Amino acid sequence: MVMSEIFGSMVFNDAVMRERLPESTYNEFKECCEKDRPLSLEVANVIAGAMKDWAVEKGVTHFTHWFQPMTGLSAEKHDSFITPDGNGGVIMEFNGKELIKGEPDASSFPSGGLRATFEARGYTAWDPTSYAFIKDATLCIPTAFCSYNGHALDKKTPLLRSMEAVSKQAVRLLRLFGRKTEKVLSSVGPEQEYFLIDTGAFLKRRDLIFTGRTLFGAKPPKGQELEDHYFGAIKPRVAAFMRDLDEELWKLGVLAKTKHNEVAPAQHEIAPIYTTVNVATDQNQMTMEIMKKVAARHGMTCLLHEKPFAGVNGSGKHNNWSLTTNFGHNLFEPGKSPADNAQFLLIMAAMIAAVDKHQDLLRISVASAGNDHRLGANEAPPAIVSIFLGDELTGILQAIADGRTYSKRADCEVEIGVHVLPKFPMDTTDRNRTSPLAFTGNKFEFRMLGSAFSIAGPNTVLNTIIADEFSDFADELEKADDQKACIQDIIRRVMKEHGRIIFNGNNYSDEWVREAKKRGLYNLPTTMDCLAYLDSPENIALFEKHGVYSAEEIRARKEIQIENYSKLITIEADTMIDMASKDILPAVTTYEKEIAGTVKALAAAGVDAASHAELLAKLEALYADAAAKLAALREAVGKARREKTVERYGKACRDKVIPAMNALRKVADEMETLTAKKYWPFPTYDDLLFSVN
């Protein structure tokens, strides 16, 4: 295997374009991408032709506009290149129009009422900043998906708009520092966690098949207590999967490194090298899809759910985010000169203010039924948003705010724009791993994302909230006579008004929950709690100001998210009902019958059968309890379903259905611990978690 032959071999990337396009077309294309200008049809035609020839040489016959509807998955509709040649034969054709715009009949994608069914056809538009690629012998063209009146129906469109917003405002701010920046790009490197289990075991669990997580299951004798899995030796079957996965991803130009084992048994992580957020989002979607496919080839199933197993660490996604100018200068990199440092500190202040003002949006951006199991469960950051800067940087900002010298280091006076900042340690030793949003030297690591998420939403929010702060700062600085004094003022004000969002301690502790409450920070534990804030007047104003979402788009998204939540919980509840009534209760009945027979036989033989009788009585009591809990769950789901509004349905799921599910599970899991293994109707936690070797 020659890496240089594999890497990017299935991508119509810059090198391929340079090689295959006429120079003038290539230059025109590059310029359009850099300046966010639309392509002319002539140029698109030339590119389409070259793309088709390249793909056909690789055995491709079909193309698809590949997009990310609001389901959070990716969608594609395949068309073939084949066109009749007029002489009874066919030719392979693909033109600029087909490249730039597609019209999938997409009426069954969620639109939250944005697209009336009589005009069900939305359109897809090529995103030339994300390369086309070949997957399953199909040329995939990354596209945005909109309704005919221009409403975004996908996750890419708002993300692209947010990239434009942050670039525009960052450029404004940087110009005030005398920089000639033309564009600022947001980049991200997502670390992706996942579980691998044996497909044989997976297929015996209807809960895993229908919902991606186990709805029943007692704690195994061995879980993650020993922490022997973390960075432990990788099992041969998993290692083979990882090698295959890397290769598949490299072909698609994803710079992936399948890495170490994670904390939980059967849990692993993969991370690519960071790239611009729209490309990283596309690549992460592909990665998730390919992980499942490659796992299947190895007889394994890849679980991307946030919490496949209760009592075992769930899976998240760490979103490492930064902003870089077209000259390659990372805005979160502390500078080497006093002037650079004034800019750096101002940008840090922007982040502090943005995060504090928009805690609700950050929380919403990571909200899902699956992620509700993690946030605040002592394995992931809590549902409370805060920011970690480290003691050093916090101390410096505080010193500036207080108008005093930074005392931790005598040699370090921090007057804005006068002194060089001390070097911040870039090493990982003192990094706070419990913070939801941590400054890690030259990027912010947003750690609240669930493993199954599209990273589009969280990055749309990060880009927008910092764009808004940059915009406010630029407004103020443009008017200021004394720039240095103005920066000092801004930092002082930000630390005073928003310093409460900084927390460098242990975010998993109960003290933090109390402390956060004292500081007046939001604590929105569930999806339904936080979604209530999505369409607040402030949030609508923010998104409209920066052209990221219109008010209608926000309301539609809120509705879709609540609807998804309710549907998901209902499917989970129905699956539980099904498994309890058809599998678990009958299994317990059979086991009870055997014990009852034993009691009888022992008594007949004149042997004391007290302990058997006791077990039987215990099981029967649990059975009765389970039957009652099952009936209660049935009623709760029925009632929730009959609610008249989406919102009330969602709340009924949160307040009635989930507690009823938990109650049923508790009894069922207890029965599992008392029932002989051969009677239990499906693989247990130890079967699942230790199914791969």
Say which entry of Mg ion, ligand ADP, none residue 286 contacts (CB below 5 to 8 A, set by partner kind): none
The DSSP output letter for 314 is -
Say which entry of ligand ADP, Mg ion, none residue 209 contacts (CB below 5 to 8 A, set by partner kind): none
Cβ partners under 8 Å of residue 567, min gap 6: none
In terms of CB distance, is 320 or 675 closer to Mg ion? 320
Q: Which residue's C-beta sits nearest to ligand ADP?
A: 189
172 part of the interface to ligand ADP, by CB under 6 A: no
273 part of the interface to ligand ADP, by CB under 6 A: yes
Q: Which two tokens stand for residue 324?
A: 């870089």
State which amino acid sits at residue 621: A
Segment interacting with ligand ADP (CB under 6 A) among 26-34, 185-193, 346-354, 540-548: 185-193
Q: Are 557 and 112 in contact (CB under 8 A)?
A: yes
CB atoms within 10 A of CB 593: 12
Alpha-carbon span 670 to 681, nearest angstrom:
15
Say which entry of Mg ion, ligand ADP, none residue 322 contacts (CB below 5 to 8 A, set by partner kind): ligand ADP
Alpha-carbon span 343 to 349, nearest angstrom:
10
598 part of the interface to ligand ADP, by CB under 6 A: no
Taking CB under 6 A as the criterion, the residue among 172, 443, 557, 656 binding ligand ADP is 443
- Cα-based torsion angle of the residue sequence 357, 361, 366, 367 in order, rounded to the nearest 10 degrees: 120
In terms of CB distance, is 355 or 658 closer to Mg ion? 355
79, 149, 82: which is closest to 114 by C-alpha?
149
Distances (CA, A) of 156 to 161, 613, 639: 9, 63, 36
Say which entry of Mg ion, ligand ADP, none residue 271 contacts (CB below 5 to 8 A, set by partner kind): ligand ADP
Ramachandran class of 506: left when φ > 0, alpha when ψ lies in -120 to 50, beta otherwise = beta
Name the helix (H) or strand (E) containing 633. helix 610-641
In terms of CB distance, is 69 or 272 closer to ligand ADP? 272
Taking CB under 6 A as the criterion, the residue among 9, 129, 326, 442 binding ligand ADP is 442
558 part of the interface to ligand ADP, by CB under 6 A: no
CB of 595 to ligand ADP, least distance (A): 50
In terms of CB distance, is 220 or 272 closer to ligand ADP? 272
Say which entry of ligand ADP, Mg ion, none residue 273 contacts (CB below 5 to 8 A, set by partner kind): ligand ADP
Say which entry of Mg ion, ligand ADP, none residue 199 contacts (CB below 5 to 8 A, set by partner kind): none
User: SS3 sequence, 472-529?
Assistant: HHHHHHHHCCCHHHHHHHHHHHHHHHHHHHECCCCCCCHHHHHHHHHHCCCCCCCHHH
CB of 445 to Mg ion, least distance (A): 6
Segment interacting with Mg ion (CB under 5 A) among 59-67, 130-138, 233-241, 311-319: 311-319
317 part of the interface to ligand ADP, by CB under 6 A: no
Q: Are 655 and 569 in contact (CB under 8 A)?
A: no
371 part of the interface to ligand ADP, by CB under 6 A: no
Q: How many residues bind Mg ion (CB under 5 A)?
A: 2
358 part of the interface to Mg ion, by CB under 5 A: no
Taking CB under 6 A as the criterion, the residue among 68, 130, 138, 187 binding ligand ADP is 187
Name the helix (H) or strand (E) containing 581. none
Which parts of 15-34 interact with ligand ADP (CB under 6 A)? Answer: none
Residues 517-527 as b/e (b if ≥16 CB within 10 A, e otherwise) read eebebbbbebb
In terms of CB distance, is 320 or 394 closer to ligand ADP? 320
318 part of the interface to Mg ion, by CB under 5 A: yes
- Cα-based torsion angle of the residue sequence 459, 31, 546, 149 in order, rounded to the nearest 10 degrees: -100
Which parts of 536-595 interact with Mg ion (CB under 5 A)? Answer: none
274 part of the interface to ligand ADP, by CB under 6 A: yes
330 part of the interface to ligand ADP, by CB under 6 A: yes
CB of 14 to ligand ADP, least distance (A): 19
What are the start-end ranges of the E strands in 383-470?
437-439, 444-450
The DSSP output letter for 298 is T
Say which entry of ligand ADP, Mg ion, none residue 26 contacts (CB below 5 to 8 A, set by partner kind): none
Q: Which two tokens stand for residue 99?
A: 């490249």
In terms of CB distance, is 282 or 445 closer to Mg ion? 445
52 part of the interface to Mg ion, by CB under 5 A: no
For the chain, the C-alpha Rg in angstroms (whole number) is 28
Pairing of strands 316-325, 184-198: antiparallel
In terms of CB distance, is 187 or 214 closer to ligand ADP? 187
Say which entry of Mg ion, ligand ADP, none residue 621 contacts (CB below 5 to 8 A, set by partner kind): none
Give the interface with Mg ion as residue ranges (CB under 5 A): 191, 318
Binding residues for ligand ADP, rule: CB under 6 A, are 187-189, 191, 271-274, 318, 320-322, 330, 428, 442-443
